[in-house]
Structure 1
């Protein structure tokens, strides 16, 4: 009876997959399935690895092994060839420059940013003594401007680790998002209403130079709608109009707007917002 393997061993294609990740997974698969590493050749492991390579990757390995044949190499030799090809020598200063210049990207979560900081420190050779402080500092200093970064800047550095900084930043983020939500049972904000108000045509008496204030206010027995002489709109009279406090930009007289100044044609139709103040360019 054939032995059932544990886990799934996928095909490795160097154009798509990362060799370091695949090699780690391959070692775990060998361990889970009791594939022992023979002291001299490791023929079984080599055969499993070669059979798991995509065609273009196998061709690359064959070229790397020349003038030797791939089938004559040990498992350790095959791994060494692939390591040397897919892991070029790293420049320590270049890796540190990349590490210290990294910042949180737009749309990158706090957890993703913390994980990327750890990955960038892989080849920086910080050493165990300064590793945790280095990744903590880069996480905090590289955060996007906002309440999370401001909060971390107020904390003491001595007892702050990367994990604590991440937890603190996540707490600030959750609180900020929760405050944006409407409390349960609270009434939604009133919608913005825009009313249409039409100005009635002024009578000949009101347009006359010698017209009285009562005639301009729609009095004097006029049967039409009452029109305010301060703003030109219908539906209210002069004593209750708020624009009686405004000074006309045309004649300089306080008590009406420029649009209803004597001698100026009245605009026929206007749209005003019920909750906004006048935008007539007159002064209060």
Structure 2
């Protein structure tokens, strides 16, 4: 017997986990549904063990609620509330009282598909509301009618109305397929690049000096052109610049002073140099103005 191997130690393995119940992030019914799946996955069939897991896993707030609802007895005492199902029902009746079927039917009759809501999302919302409408055997027919009336898309609605012997299952398949086809076609569509037309901003050019302003605001509007001797523009903008390359040379008269006669002065040869600089124009205009004052 000393050679016999010791039996293997079997360590139970738990599948999944149960968190504390949080009434802010989860509904009580959903929590108990997850708890039931946990019991099935781990082969927990004993009602006493199920009750003990529930009482130990629930939050402090939930346990206090159970105590208040089961007073004067405690949740674990076997007097009136003895089983796991009794405790679950006690909290369910408090947390999720059964809504009025009339109110739920009014909600369902006014429920339509929202602009950014998919067909599957719309149907899921309908099922949730229909849960408390007590339609029972006529549930599928009511879901079909609400889907057709509330789909809010003419193309899908016309197709559903044209379908003979339409059932809720068929309506769901057709609406979902048409929605997916429209989405795929939109994704495959080649978007043509938008044509962009070049817009050239044309600056107003002053005909007096060539600057980017209107002629009435030009500082050279009173200047005298030394090409054509006309007032109101500079030489570089003169229209006669190609016809007349230089201003006529001034004639020098014989000068006399106190009866003395001086010989005529030979004018200095001057070569015309075209200059577009505003400084030259400014100097020339200043010379003109000073000449007027001396006269």
TM-score by length of 1: 0.61
1:37-86 CA-partner distances (Å, limit 9, x unpaired): 4xxxx221111001111111111111111111122142232122112212
CA RMSD of aligned residues (A): 2.8
Picking from 38, 47, 64, the partner of 1:59 is 64
Q: Determine if the alignment matches structure 1 residue 195 to structure 2 residue 203.
A: no
| CA spacing shift, 1:119–1:196, aligned 2, 3 Å | same
Picking from 111, 126, 130, the partner of 1:102 is 111
Corresponding residue of 2:128: 119
CA distance in 1, matches of 2:38, 2:184: 44
1:207-251 CA-partner distances (Å, limit 9, x unpaired): xxxxxxxxxxxxxxx99xxxxxxxxxxxxxxxxxxxxxxxxxxxx
CA distance in 1, matches of 2:187, 2:75: 63
Offset, 1:146: 4.3
| CA spacing shift, 1:182–1:35, aligned 2, 3 Å | closer
Secondary structure in structure 1 of the residue aligned to 2:76: helix
Corresponding residue of 1:272: none
Q: Determine if the alignment matches structure 1 residue 47 to structure 2 residue 56.
A: no
Corresponding residue of 2:179: 173
Corresponding residue of 2:18: 9
Bigger radius of gyration: 2
Secondary structure in structure 2 of the residue aligned to 1:124: coil
Secondary structure in structure 2 of the residue aligned to 1:71: coil
Alignment of 1:69-80 (within 5 A): 69-72=74-77, 73-74=81-82, 75-80=84-89
Alignment of 1:177-256 (within 5 A): 177-181=183-187, 188-189=192-193, 191-196=195-200, 198=202
Structure 1 runs not aligned, ≥5 long = 204-221, 224-284
Structure 2 runs not aligned, ≥5 long = 1-9, 208-238, 241-295
CA distance in 2, matches of 1:45, 1:201: 93
TM-score by length of 2: 0.59
1:139-171 CA-partner distances (Å, limit 9, x unpaired): 121112343334323333x2x223322221222
Q: Determine if the alignment matches structure 1 residue 134 to structure 2 residue 139.
A: no
Offset, 1:177: 2.9
Offset, 1:181: 4.4
